[in-house]
Copies of this chain bind each other. A is one copy, B any other.
Amino acid sequence: MENSETAAETSAQPSTDHSTALLQQLGQLLGEGGVRTQPDAVMPDVILRPRTTAEVSAVLRLCSAAGQALVPLGGRTGLANGHFQTQGEFGLSLERMNAIEEIDTENRTMTVQAGCILQVAVEAAEEHDLLLPMDFGARGSATVGSVVATNAGGNRVIRYGMAREVVLGLEVVLADGTVVTSLNKMLKNNTGYDIKQWFIGAEGTLGVVTRVVLRLRPSPRSQCTALLAVDSFGALTSLLRMLDARTAGTLSGFEVMWPEFYSYVTREGSLHRPPLPHGSAFYVLVETLGSEPESDAERFETVLGEAMEEGLVSDAVLARSQSERNALWEIRDDVLEFFKLGPIIPFDISVTLDRMEQFVDDIRVGMDTLKDGVCVVFGHLGDSNLHLILGSKKPEEFDYQALCTLLYETVERHHGSVSAEHGIGLSKREQLGRSRSAPELQLMRQLKTMLDPKNILNPNKIFAADTLTAG
């Protein structure tokens, strides 16, 4: 839907003759299956598929010399169009670099090539009774490299942090082909600047991540899950604080659904039976991951009982089995259902808890002025992260720009973040200045220009090419 944003800014590309010569060189370098060309308008026309870090390095050297733009590709399910290929840009897929190189049970680390699918890595850790805690909807398509490149968040950030907190080391290939191998396995390592931080969340604009060392945790032995009804936003934040304090270190989920979300997903004729009746102000899916199944369950119920006595929770249902737990999560995860309502936009933002209620009210007021508007709110409240689905039940009333303006102006007014966990990519590029000041943006551009002076790595993502100072 954002393709229009890029229509006017096809990067300066080498001429066709040069491209042909470059493609021949790349073909020789990468061997059979190494270069895929798909000469149709919908799919990108060239995808390079190196098998080793050395090949990635050689690809970047050649492309750098030729001024050829590259778009690093992961699962291509990101929601900010960070993986979008403009005409003439080559895709760089690491799908043939998908090995799990090592699971080190002694040091509790996993060393994995960037093309490995997240779910494959998670399951490999599970086989050693270890937890790779990154988890979100696209787990079956996202690659570890793209998880790192977007600093992905998800469902367990409140307990284990974002991707940044899970990455101990990485290997990255710079725009000029330089390989920087920084595969640290140690929790503490204060030897100069922590350069891996530069590349985490940089959306492939500063380098191509080729290998990653991830921190693994002991597998949880208990999981307690409940769906709660809550009557007010004040009760919601008190409940969050109470659970955080009373389930020390184990609270892993605090997923809030505003009533429109819950009542629509569990409406009559939907796939889900409502575990709690409609009509409450908020529904919260809470979960702990602990170590002692019996006593953890007892504690969980005790704390929830106290929360009810204190009036923080008005109704509750506890999952008594894995299938009941799955049923609760399926309600929370059934976001695709809202695409049935009409044309919609899924937004991903942060605002601090003290402003969140007013923020949502302001959005609602704005949406009220639209006829047949769709406004659905849910999110990871413990991380100050909301998702909003805004749209229209009538396609002819749908106004992409108006919805973006409403949403992002309100975020800016509440000093929020225009991207909590999805990144900037192309989709939010023009909004970045709402959350970052001119000096912050200037520093970012300086680093981009320093590391990729020819702007060949994912050009026009995060920053439009013409806003970079040097070339």
Q: Is the CB of A424 within 8 A of B191?
A: yes
Q: Which of A272-280, A327-335, A415-423 contacts B (4 or more CB under 8 A)?
A: A415-423
- B residues less than 8 Å from A354 (CB atoms): 104, 106-107
Size range of the interface on A?
35 or more
Q: Given A165-B165, A221-B245, A250-B249, do A188 and B383 touch, yes or no (CB 8 Å)? A: yes
A449 to chain B, nearest CB (A): 9
Q: Is the CB of A247 within 8 A of B291?
A: yes
Q: Is the CB of B289 within 8 A of A185?
A: no
Is residue A101 within 8 Å, beta carbon to beta carbon, of the partner chain? no
Q: Which of A151-159, A338-346, A394-402 contacts B (4 or more CB under 8 A)?
A: A151-159
Q: Is the CB of B250 within 8 A of A181?
A: no
Task: List A137-186 residues whose CB lies under 8 Å from chain B.
Answer: 150-151, 153, 157-159, 161-162, 164-165, 178-182, 184-186
Instruction: Tell me the bound Cα distance from A241 to B218 in angstroms.
Output: 8
Closest to A245 in B: B218
Is residue A1 within 8 Å, beta carbon to beta carbon, of the partner chain? no
- B residues less than 8 Å from A162 (CB atoms): 187-188
Task: Among B248, B439, B444, point to the contact of A193 (Cβ < 8 A).
Answer: B444
Is residue A200 within 8 Å, beta carbon to beta carbon, of the partner chain? yes
Q: Is the CB of A190 within 8 A of B201?
A: yes
- B residues less than 8 Å from A448 (CB atoms): 193
Task: List A281-329 residues whose CB lies under 8 Å from chain B.
Answer: 289-292, 295, 299
Task: Among B186, B241, B423, B435, point to the contact of A417 (Cβ < 8 A).
Answer: B186
* A-B residue pairs in contact (CB < 8 Å), sample of 16: A107-B352, A107-B354, A151-B190, A159-B249, A164-B194, A179-B439, A184-B417, A188-B421, A190-B417, A192-B424, A195-B440, A218-B244, A248-B289, A248-B290, A249-B289, A295-B295
Binding site for B on A (CB under 8 A): 104, 106-108, 150-151, 153, 157-159, 161-162, 164-165, 178-182, 184-195, 197-198, 200-202, 206, 217-222, 237, 241, 244-250, 289-292, 295, 299, 350-354, 380, 382-385, 416-424, 428, 432, 435-437, 439-444, 446-448, 450, 462
